[in-house]
A and B are shown apart, each in its own frame.
Chain A
Amino acid sequence: MGDTTTELSDAELVRGLGAGQVEAMRELYRRYGTLAYSLAVRILGDPGRAEDVVQDSFMRVWTYAGSFDAGRGSLRTWLLTTVRNRAIDYLRGRPGRERRELELGFELPAQGPGSDPWRDVSESLEREALRKALVSLPSDQRQVVELAYFGGYTQREIAGMVQVPLGTVKGRTRLALEKLSSYLQGRGLIDVG
């Protein structure tokens, strides 16, 4: 590990984590630590709590690396989904219910291995496209995504807050995700098969 030019694939990294190699954990952190922390800060607005959430999320991946199935989603998605859900649980004072991060495996395997610069570039392209896609949504749809994903509100809660029927909130959610998907897919940034 370390200064190799080709970096480890998710599957190789997961094997290292599953074998209890601390260096694999360091590599995982170096890849995704900033993304994870930025997400936690965005949701919590509290850097101290964000640190705890990030640590807990990495430890979850460390502990359950053996059950990770690379065929069902990327390591990045698993980790960041865990960060998001833990942050929301913290934020809302919910006991950590047994989330099914591993079971939300609808995603196809992410892009293959590449060098660090490649990842940085692809990440910033993805970020830029995502932001454009979000801005292009009608504001009521963007609001639902914001409240649901970053605020952790359920559909019923959003319906109550925004004072529209539940069915309307669900419809907006669906439309928003359909539009985001086709926007990102149209730019080749996500792979849907």
Chain B
Amino acid sequence: MSVDHEELENSIAAYVLGSADPEDEDRLRAHLEACASCRELAARLAPAVSSLPLEPEPVKPPRRLEDRVVAAAAATRGASDPKPRSIRRVWLPGPPRVRVRFSGLRAGLAAAAVLLFAAGAVAGSSLDRLGAQRPAARPPAAEVQRYQLAGSGPMAGVQANAVYLKRDSLTLVDFKYMPAPAPGQLYELWLITGDGRAVPAGVFSPESDGSKVVLVDRNLEGVKTVAVTAEPAPNGSQAPSQAPQLVGRIA
């Protein structure tokens, strides 16, 4: 074997281990297509890599994780087309909602998306569709608050990550695995103040895959809790008509 081919073989081993440099991946894939002996090498090494996940000490997951996984699956089962047509979607802002202002949106939105990516907080999530680039610079941490909403019952599987950009008075909430609302209903987001007042912050319906990005363009001064309820379509309610199904405390 030539030196060059030996280098390729070693690179194939790295590829099988998931450690190839991104700029080499296309070259290696092309070579695998063309070279039977490297395919054989990859096939020989792959089972050892498949055993590596057994190395860690087993840690029993919390009981709620099973509930989350099952609830998330159940939430997407009702989708009209449960199999996605494509992995990436193009995000198009819908018409402004009554209570959500979109002014100055573009800059704040891009900043929020960049921040989420910068922290890896929602890597691979529906925010992909915002098409954000890698971050150039991050605002100081004091300018940014992050929090998560936790669900119960049929909402147990929901992941909801929020980022509040203080300077822009903009909050971006990224929902995943939301069950479709009951017919005639949609979801409403509430900002609950320290004195218990629930301020409506927008209505939304998840996409068929259970995802949604909701923007709240206002200052969260005095807000202690963010919550979601199901309310009548199309306009929601002025006050929550049920106990929140998703709740997050603002630190």
Query: Which residues of A come within 8 Å of B, CB atoms?
Result: 20, 22, 25-26, 29-30, 33-35, 37-39, 41-42, 47, 51-52, 54-56, 58-59, 62-64, 66, 73-74, 76-77, 80-81, 83-86, 88-96, 98, 104, 106-108, 123, 126-127, 130-131, 134, 145, 148-150, 152-156, 158, 167, 169-171, 173-174, 177-178, 180-181, 184-185, 189-192
Closest to A52 in B: B159
Establish whether residues B84 and A63, one from each chain, have CB atoms under 8 Å apart when the complex forms: yes
In the complex, the answer to whether B7 meets A167 with C-beta atoms within 8 Å is yes
In the docked arrangement, what's the CA distance between A55 and B157, Å? 8
In this complex, what residue of B is CB-closest to A155?
B14
**Is B42 an interface residue, CB under 8 A from the partner?**
yes
- Asked whether B18 lies within 8 Å of A148 as measured between CB atoms, the reply is yes
Q: Are A107 and B47 in contact (CB under 8 A)?
A: yes
B window 29-81: CB within 8 A of A: 39, 42-62, 65-66, 68-70, 72-74, 76-77
Q: Evaluate contact between B47 and A34: CB separation under 8 angstroms.
A: no
Q: Is the CB of B18 within 8 A of A85?
A: yes
Are A55 and B120 in contact (CB-based, < 8 A)?
A: no
Q: Min CB distance, A113 to chain B, in Å?
A: 18
Q: Are A94 and B62 neighbours in the complex by a CB distance under 8 Å?
A: no
Is A74 a contact of B70 with CB atoms below 8 Å?
A: no
Contacts beyond the supplied A104-B16, A155-B21, A180-B48: 19 A-B pairs with Cβ under 8 Å: A22-B74, A33-B61, A34-B60, A34-B61, A38-B57, A54-B69, A56-B159, A59-B73, A80-B50, A89-B123, A93-B123, A106-B45, A108-B43, A127-B54, A130-B54, A148-B14, A150-B52, A154-B21, A192-B47
- State in angstroms the CA–CA spacing of A107 and B43 once bound together: 6
Q: A154 vs B19: C-alpha distance in the bound complex, in angstroms?
A: 4
Give bound CA distance, A55 to B159, whole Å: 9
Tell whether, in the assembled complex, residue B53 and residue A84 are in contact, meaning their CB atoms are under 8 Å apart: yes
- Which residues in B have their C-beta under 8 angstroms from that of A33? 61, 65-66, 69
Tell me if B9 is interfacial: C-beta within 8 Å of chain A.
yes
Among A30, A63, A126: residue with most chain B CB under 10 A:
A63
Report A-chain residues with C-beta under 8 Å of the C-beta of B182. none
Q: How large is the interface on B (under 10, 10 to 19, 20 to 34, 35 or more residues)?
A: 35 or more
| B132 interface residue per 8 A CB criterion | yes
In the docked arrangement, what's the CA distance between A22 and B72, Å? 9
**Complex Cα spacing A150 to B51, Å:** 13
Docked Cα-Cα span, A95 to B125, in Å, equals 8
A184 touches B54 (CB 8 A): no
Q: Are B10 and A90 in contact (CB under 8 A)?
A: no
**B128 interfacial by beta-carbon distance below 8 Å:** yes
Q: Which residues of A contact B77 (CB under 8 A)?
A: 20, 22
Q: A22-B77, A35-B54 are in contact. Are A181 and B48 (CB under 8 A)?
A: yes
A51:B21 contact, CB within 8 angstroms: no
Assess A123 versus B54: contact at CB under 8 Å? Given A33-B66, A181-B44: yes
CB neighbours of A76 from chain B (8 A): 50
Least Cβ–Cβ distance between B16 and chain A, in angstroms: 7
CB distance from A36 to the nearest CB of B (A): 8
A83 cross-chain contacts in B, Cβ below 8 A? 53
| B144 at the binding interface (Cβ < 8 Å) | no
- Specify which chain B residues have a CB less than 8 angstroms from the CB of A58 in the assembled complex: 69, 72-73
Report whether A20 and B82 are in contact in the complex, using a CB–CB cutoff of 8 Å: yes
Cross-chain contact B10 with A170 (CB below 8 angstroms) = yes
Chain A nearest CB: distance from B52 CB in Å? 5
Say which residue of A152, A155, A184 sits within 8 Å of B51 (CB atoms). A184
